[in-house]
Homo-oligomer: A and B are copies of this chain.
């Protein structure tokens, strides 16, 4: 762990434990240089991290303060959607039923999202994921074979993401996501067990590896009463 990570961790802990309460003024950078025996650039970089996390804000000429809402949204910004459902919920709660598993050429929409040509093959996977034995989400996933190889039914019954990370060494860097509400389709009613007029929450997403290559394009349809999306948005001035 680097020096600025250690310092930011120390200050973060002091904020969370109440030593630096919300709205309070933090020590100035020169003082902290002496406290942590380092240069001012290092202190500034530690504060950069805390500012990105929405814990502190800085005002030129005035000082560095703890945000009023520093303790408000401390819930799991650590668990991320693109890590896969299995990791989010814990693998003992998730099971998967494979409805379709084929290889073929991509249609125009899939080509565009995965940044591939029409003759580059893709996996097409439809899975029903169950949370504690109850239908949770119906996923249709496309993965390009130029990145993802060696999939089989055994993997599909567990976590694809574990396989991508551990066997293929793929690292995710982010995702593009679009969220909609929709009326239930016949598939939704059959597999998600929703009523005739139950709304469905649809998530369309493209997940990217660290070099920006698309790893998956998927559409996930959730029962309206079992899923909500949380976003924490923060930006500097």
Contact = CB atoms under 8 A, between A and B. Distances in A.
Given A115-B68, A197-B183, A201-B181, A171 B237 contact: yes
Interface of A: 22-23, 54, 57, 65-70, 72-73, 80-82, 115, 171, 173-183, 196-201, 208, 210-214, 222, 224, 228-237
A69 B177 contact: no
Contacts of A68: 115, 211-214
Within the oligomer, what is the number of copies of this chain?
Answer: 2
A213 to B, nearest CB: 5
A69 B112 CA distance: 11
A78 B171 CA distance: 27
Contacts of A57: 173, 210-212
A210 to B, nearest CB: 6
Contacts of A236: 173
A199 B181 contact: yes
A174 B212 contact: no
Contacts of A235: 80, 173-174
Contacts of A23: 211-212
A82 B212 contact: no
A126 to B, nearest CB: 21
A72 B206 CA distance: 11
Given A68-B115, A182-B224, A199-B199, A54 B174 contact: yes
Contact of A233 (B70, B82, B196, B212): B82
5 contacts: A23-B211, A65-B211, A67-B212, A82-B233, A199-B200
A224 to B, nearest CB: 4
**Among the interface residues A22, A66, A82, A199, which one has the most CB atoms of the partner chain B within 10 A?**
A199
B212 A70 contact: yes
Contacts of A212: 22-23, 54, 57, 66-70
B183 A224 contact: yes
A177 B182 CA distance: 20
A82 B197 CA distance: 32
A195 to B, nearest CB: 10
Given A66-B212, A174-B234, 8 more contacts: A54-B174, A67-B173, A68-B115, A68-B213, A70-B212, A177-B231, A178-B229, A181-B199
